[in-house]
Structure 1
């Protein structure tokens, strides 16, 4: 199962499209799960590949109790899909915080392997993501780097989409 934040037109989305196209030729039954529908959904479904759209996050961390309930809801929905499709491998793309939710799936399902895919070294974060709190950008970026490194032992593998991303990420 490929899990991606959205199916808008973009580089990571094209990576998912290409991956499932060629996985379907082999002995795999690829599935795409997204938290936001987009134009690439139709291209993927035309290949005969199932696309599941789950409701994404509705609350930010500033509404902490609702934020936690949101993460639990998404985790349960992902676990239900893993069980429904009898998924063995999950590969994530652009999930950021939800990458850590995916790490719990092997403990509550029969999932064998989680792979994290890095499309850039800044986790798709830009100062524009924090329009009223731009000063938080370096803190948030450092926090993500730290969390990813601490959780690295629980991940089955990492995929860097280029040598440049690999080099930047492990700095």
Structure 2
């Protein structure tokens, strides 16, 4: 594959006017076509745009790590609050589809949506803690069952 073909592949997702503007700006308005670029110009453009693609891949990997971390935090809170049972996903999935912020399953959330969901989980945790202080509420009974002393 020639360098011009590689550059065409890199620019394949862009429209022709945008490509012409990029090339024109890069060559100081000498040309607007990839085929009229010199070898040095082609290599320079390839170095610039391939570096950007590598950065995008790294960003995607970092986002995926962050999503994985947020999912594990959400699941930990859900287990502590009784939304998820240790060996079953059914109760948690039902809660996600009916009561979560965006009403979709956990694996369909993106990074910003996961941050919203984590905020909701922390609010749920706080509300349960406040509710457990009031006698005869479900949270109060649950807290009492957890704290039974079986001497």
TM-score bin, normalised by smaller chain: under 0.3
Q: Which has the higher helix share?
A: 2
TM-score, reference length from structure 2: 0.21
Greater RCO (Cα-Cα under 8 Å, separation 6 or more): 1
Query: TM-score, structure 1 length as denominator?
Result: 0.19
Q: Which has the higher strand share?
A: 1
Q: Which has the greater radius of gyration?
A: 2
